[in-house]
Amino acid sequence: MSDAAWVRAILALGSNLGERAGTLSAAVVQLADHPGVRLRAESPVVRTKPVGGPAGQPDFLNMVIAVDTTLAPYELLAHCQAVEAAHHRVREVRWGPRTLDVDIITYGDAASDDPALTLPHPRAAQRAFVLYPWSLMDPDATLAGVRVTALAAAADDLPGISLDGTGEPGA
C-alpha cells in the first residue's frame, strides 16, 4: 500500500440500541483497525433525538471521525458495513433504531450519484447530528463549500442535540 494515495474521508457514527457509548468506542477502533485506514480525528459524542423513522425510538449517540484511507470508496463502504454487521446491525425499517450506523459523509472531493454510495452524503448538509459533532472536531470544515458550523446552525434538528446532557448544544 505504499504506492496508494491516502484520501481523507469523514464518517458519521450513530447508535440508539444497546450499550451505545461502548458500541461507538469499539466501532472507532474497528474502523481504524485496517491497514488502509488511519484515524485522524474524532468528535465528542453527542446525544440526539431521532430524525425520521418510526416514533418512540430511543435517543441516539452520534459522533464523527476523520480518517485517511487508501481504500477505494466502495471498499471503504464494505469495511464500514462489516463493522456495522459485527455490532449486529439489522436493516428492517428505514431510519429505524439500530445498534450501529456508519455513513460515509465525504470521500476526498469525490462526487457520486450512485444510490449505493452517494457522495457527499445526500442529507448530511441538513443534519445537525452529523454537522454539529463534525464542527466540534474541525471548526474550519466545509461541505459543498459551506462551513459545517453554518450548516449546523441552520439545521432543524440542532435544538435536539445535547453535548453534556443538559439538552443544549455546546458553544
Q: pTM of this prediction?
A: 0.90
pLDDT of residue 72: 97
98 included as an active-site residue: yes
| C-alpha pair distances (Å), 72 with each of 7, 77, 85, 149 | 9, 9, 20, 28
Give the three-class secondary structure for 77.
Answer: helix
Task: Note whether residue 167 is domain-resident.
Answer: no
Task: Note whether residue 27 is domain-resident.
Answer: yes
pLDDT of residue 1: 43
Amino acid at 71: L
pLDDT of residue 78: 97
156 included as an active-site residue: no
Residue in 47, 101, 127, 157 annotated catalytic: 101
Residue in 20, 47, 103, 127 annotated catalytic: 103
Task: Note whether residue 39 is domain-resident.
Answer: yes
Task: Note whether residue 111 is domain-resident.
Answer: yes
Q: Measured between alpha carbons, how far is 57 from 59 in angstroms, rounded to an integer?
A: 7
List the chain pLDDT tens, one digit each, 171 residues. Answer: 455 799 999 999 999 999 999 999 999 999 999 999 999 999 999 999 887 777 778 899 999 999 999 999 999 999 999 999 999 766 665 556 788 999 999 999 999 999 999 999 989 999 999 999 999 999 999 999 999 999 999 999 998 899 865 445 543
Task: Note whether residue 1 is domain-resident.
Answer: no
Task: Note whether residue 2 is domain-resident.
Answer: no
8 included as an active-site residue: no
Q: Structural domain of residue 99, as residue ranges?
A: 7-162
Contact 139, 44 (CB under 8 A): no
Task: Note whether residue 131 is domain-resident.
Answer: yes
pLDDT of residue 3: 58
Q: Measured between alpha carbons, how far is 169 from 166 in angstroms, rounded to an integer?
A: 8
Tell me 43's DSSP state.
Answer: P
114 included as an active-site residue: no
Q: Measured between alpha carbons, how far is 93 from 87 in angstroms, rounded to an integer?
A: 17
Residue in 8, 38, 47, 89 annotated catalytic: 89
pLDDT of residue 164: 61
Contact 144, 133 (CB under 8 A): no
Residue in 20, 47, 98, 127 annotated catalytic: 98
Task: Note whether residue 168 is domain-resident.
Answer: no
Instruction: Report how many domains make up the chain.
Output: 1
Place of cell 443544549: 168
Which CATH number fits the domain that encloses residue 85?
A: 3.30.70.560
Question: What length does the chain have?
Answer: 171
Q: Measured between alpha carbons, how far is 24 from 62 in angstroms, rounded to an integer?
A: 8
Cα–Cα–Cα angle for 68, 69, 71, rounded to 5 degrees: 165
